[in-house]
Amino acid sequence: MVLKRTVWVYAILSALLFSLRSPVWPEEYKKSDREWVKGLLQIVASDVQRHYYDPNLHGVDWEALVRRADDNIEKASSINDAISEIAAVLDSLNDSHTFFIPSPRAYVHDYGFDMKMIDSHCYVIRVEPGSDAQKKGLKLGDEITAVNKHRVSRSAYWRLKYMYEVLQPQTALGLTLKDDAGSDRELTVSAKDEPSSHIRYVWPGGINHLLRDIDRENDLMRVRYFSKGKNLLAAKMPGIVYSPLEADRILGRMRKHKAVVLDLRGTPGAPETLSRLLGGLFETDLKVYDRIGRRSVQSVTVSGRRHHAFMGKLAVLIDSNSMSYSEVFARVVQLQRRGFIIGDHTAGRVMEAKDYTHKTYVDALVLFGTSISVADLRMTDGKSLEHVGVEPDVQVLPTAADLANGRDPAMAKAARLLGVTVTPEEAGAMFPYKGSTEH
**156-182 pLDDT, tens digit each:** 999 999 999 888 889 999 999 997 777
Count of structural domains, the chain: 3
CATH of the domain at 303: 3.90.226.10
Per the domain annotation, does 209 fall within a domain?
A: yes
CB 40 within 8 A of CB 33: no
State which of 214, 243, 271 marks the end of a domain: 214
Q: Rounded CA gap, 345 and 340, in Å?
A: 14
Provide the domain limits for residue 231. Answer: 222-350+385-428
CB 402 within 8 A of CB 76: no
Q: How confident is the model at residue 202 (pLDDT cuts 50, 70, 90)?
A: very low
Query: Is it the case that residue 349 has pLDDT exceeding 70?
Result: yes
Q: How confident is the model at residue 236 (pLDDT cuts 50, 70, 90)?
A: very high
Segment 383-407, tens digit of pLDDT: 999 999 999 999 999 999 999 999 9
In this structure, the answer to whether residues 136 and 232 fall within a common structural domain is no
pLDDT value at residue 33: 87
Q: Rounded CA gap, 288 and 321, in Å?
A: 22
In this structure, the answer to whether residues 254 and 340 fall within a common structural domain is yes
Q: Mean pLDDT over residues 222-250, rounded? A: 89
Q: Rounded CA gap, 335 and 244, in Å?
A: 25
Per the domain annotation, does 141 fall within a domain?
A: yes
Query: Is it the case that residue 24 has pLDDT exceeding 70?
Result: no
Whether the bond into 204 is cis, omega within 30 of 0: yes
Q: By three-state DSSP, how is residue 268 classified?
A: coil
Instruction: Kindly report the number of other CB atoms within 10 A of residue 305's CB atom.
Output: 20
Task: Give the single-character DSSP code of 382.
Answer: S
State which of 214, 244, 278 marks the end of a domain: 214
Phi (first) and psi of residue 217, to 5 degrees: -60, -40
Instruction: Kindly report the number of other CB atoms within 10 A of residue 298's CB atom.
Output: 10
Closest C-alpha among 144, 84, 78, 88 to residue 111: 144
In this structure, the answer to whether residues 141 and 190 fall within a common structural domain is yes
The greatest distance separating any two alpha carbons of the chain, rounded to the nearest whole angstrom, comes to 68
CATH of the domain at 177: 2.30.42.10
In this structure, the answer to whether residues 239 and 295 fall within a common structural domain is yes
Q: What is the residue type of 73?
A: I
In this structure, the answer to whether residues 178 and 304 fall within a common structural domain is no
Q: What is the residue type of 172?
A: A
Give the CA count within 13 Å in the CB-facing half-sphere of 144. Answer: 34
Per the domain annotation, does 364 fall within a domain?
A: no
Q: Rounded CA gap, 315 and 334, in Å?
A: 10
Q: Rounded CA gap, 137 and 263, in Å?
A: 31
Q: How confident is the model at residue 97 (pLDDT cuts 50, 70, 90)?
A: very high
Q: By three-state DSSP, how is residue 101 classified?
A: strand
Per the domain annotation, does 359 fall within a domain?
A: no
Q: Mean pLDDT over residues 181-198, rounded? A: 82
Q: Rounded CA gap, 393 and 396, in Å?
A: 10
Q: How confident is the model at residue 217 (pLDDT cuts 50, 70, 90)?
A: low
User: Cα 349 from chain centroid?
Assistant: 9
Task: Give the predicted TM-score (pTM) of the model.
Answer: 0.88
In this structure, the answer to whether residues 291 and 342 fall within a common structural domain is yes
In this structure, the answer to whether residues 249 and 278 fall within a common structural domain is yes
Percentage of the chain modeled with pLDDT above 90: 70
In this structure, the answer to whether residues 262 and 392 fall within a common structural domain is yes
Lowest mean pLDDT among 171-180, 213-222, 310-319, 406-415: 213-222
In this structure, the answer to whether residues 133 and 261 fall within a common structural domain is no
| Sign of the alpha-carbon dihedral angle for 53, 55, 58, 60 | positive
Per the domain annotation, does 377 fall within a domain?
A: no
Q: Mean pLDDT over residues 40-68, rounded? A: 97
In this structure, the answer to whether residues 344 and 411 fall within a common structural domain is yes
pLDDT value at residue 324: 93
Q: Average pLDDT of the chain? A: 86
Query: Is it the case that residue 316 has pLDDT exceeding 80?
Result: yes
Q: How confident is the model at residue 80 (pLDDT cuts 50, 70, 90)?
A: confident
CB 427 within 8 A of CB 407: yes
Query: Is it the case that residue 203 has pLDDT exceeding 90?
Result: no
pLDDT value at residue 239: 72
CA distances from 188 to 39, 143, 150, 372, 408 (A): 37, 15, 14, 35, 29
Beta bridge partners of 227: 233
Q: Mean pLDDT over residues 15-40, rounded? A: 64
Report the C-alpha dihedral over residues 129, 135, 141, 145, rounded to 10 degrees. -130
Query: Is it the case that residue 205 has pLDDT exceeding 60?
Result: no
Q: How confident is the model at residue 119 (pLDDT cuts 50, 70, 90)?
A: very high
Q: By three-state DSSP, how is residue 203 classified?
A: coil
Q: Rounded CA gap, 54 and 89, in Å?
A: 16
Per the domain annotation, does 121 fall within a domain?
A: yes
pLDDT value at residue 273: 76
Percentage of the chain modeled with pLDDT above 70: 84
Closest C-alpha among 344, 288, 282 to residue 314: 282
Could you give the angle at the alpha carbon of 227 between the alpha carbons of 226 and 232, nearest 5°?
A: 125
Beta bridge partners of 99: 371
In this structure, the answer to whether residues 117 and 102 fall within a common structural domain is no
State which of 195, 230, 261 marks the end of a domain: 195
Q: What is the residue type of 401?
A: A
pLDDT value at residue 216: 52
In this structure, the answer to whether residues 411 and 268 fall within a common structural domain is yes
Per the domain annotation, does 119 fall within a domain?
A: yes
Q: Rounded CA gap, 417 and 1, in Å?
A: 33
Per the domain annotation, does 391 fall within a domain?
A: yes
CB 73 within 8 A of CB 37: yes
